[in-house]
Amino acid sequence: MFKATLGAAVVVILAMLAKTKNYYIAGLVPLFPTFALIAHYIVGKGRSLDDLKTTIVFGMWSIIPYFVYLATLYVMVDRMRLEASLAVAAVAWLMAATVLVTVWMRFQS
């Protein structure tokens, strides 16, 4: 119940921000590292410091697929309906994330 309430609160905050003169801040709110905090805590408590640092470095590299998503969406919104643009951008993110994980695994082995 708490997670659902938290999720709903974030959606309400995003909707409110989208209606203000600073609407662009709505793009920052989803980037609050909620899941990263949880992941880093779990890895930090259950694994070695080196494993935590590896997780952090991989997280830094994970910015690339998000950038690919944003760049794709930026280009596509002029060419397609919003829903189609979002779908194409999500596929671009998935492809970039797949490449990142594949390259990471190759160099970590």
d(CA 109, CA 104): 9
3-state secondary structure string across the chain = CHHHHHHHHHHHHHHHHHCCCCHHHHHCHHHCCHHHHHHHHHHHHHCCHHHHHHHHHHHHHCHHHHHHHHHHHHHHCCCCCHHHHHHHHHHHHHHHHHHHHHHHHHHHC
d(CA 90, CA 40): 25
- Per-residue confidence in pLDDT tens, the chain, 109 aa: 877 888 888 889 899 999 999 999 888 888 888 889 999 999 999 999 999 999 999 999 999 999 999 999 999 999 999 999 999 999 999 999 999 999 999 998 6
| Predicted local distance difference test score (pLDDT) of residue 88 | 98
Q: Are 96 and 65 in contact, with CB atoms under 8 Å apart?
A: yes
